[in-house]
Chain A
Amino acid sequence: DAKTTQPTSMDCAEGRAANLPCNHSTISGNEYVYWYRQIHSQGPQYIIHGLKNNETNEMASLIITEDRKSSTLILPHATLRDTAVYYCIVRVGGQGAQKLVFGQGTRLTINP
């Protein structure tokens, strides 16, 4: 699986959009970009994933650059409960049990 690079930490004001970047310059054509977050002392929570098109769900939006070498997770109106460690992971989709390899992630702090 391709390696990802994320900033160690970020801050965002409550009510503003939080934009979390991720670099994955060695991503392969069949690898998806996944985002998870982990709130303190809980299991990782799935947020969103995409292959090459931008994606949006009730939690967030995922913007993937045209060359697929980077992406941005957008939390449109951050709340204090969005404070967590956010992980960007690339992995192959399709058949088989496809594992996730976690890095250090970005520690996002939402400030009142």
Chain B
Amino acid sequence: ETGVTQTPRHLVMGMTNKKSLKCEQHLGHNAMYWYKQSAKKPLELMFVYNFKEQTENNSVPSRFSPECPNSSHLFLHLHTLQPEDSALYLCASSQAGTASLSGNTIYFGEGSWLTVV
């Protein structure tokens, strides 16, 4: 248990469906991240949120729409996806905005396995 919870763990959706992935962190962190891991590829950073504001979008297609209503919750809204979007989607969080140089460790959830059919 890392303190970062992702739901659902598995999702199968059609290309015309609209679905959402949810992430909740119980660590009191203020930065949250979405990563994507396709088969046999390294993890790819998708989005970064810092204090609810999006600070990075790594050229992600608009069919992926993130939402961060507060520092504890992060959503990834999915619309008209393609089969090649099938992957493991990972949420992570960290404590940002401190002056400490000890590094702010990033903690990951267990991921949501997405299959687009």
* Chain A contacts to B: CB under 8 angstroms: 30, 32, 34, 41-46, 49, 51, 91, 93-105
Contacts and interface: CB of A to CB of B under 8 A. Distances in A.
Given A42-B110, A99-B45, A49 B96 contact: no
Interface of B: 2, 4, 6, 31, 33, 42-45, 48-50, 55-56, 88, 90, 92, 94, 96-111, 113
A44 B108 contact: yes
Contact of A98 (B4, B49, B94): B94
24 contacts: A30-B101, A32-B103, A34-B105, A41-B88, A43-B6, A43-B108, A44-B90, A45-B2, A45-B108, A46-B108, A49-B103, A49-B105, A51-B101, A93-B102, A94-B103, A95-B96, A96-B50, A97-B49, A97-B55, A97-B56, A99-B45, A99-B106, A100-B43, A100-B106
Contacts, number: 82
Contacts of B113: 41
A42 B105 CA distance: 18
Given A43-B90, A44-B90, A95 B97 contact: yes
Contact of B103 (A41, A93, A101, A105): A93
A98 B93 CA distance: 10
Contacts of B108: 43-46
B96 to A, nearest CB: 4
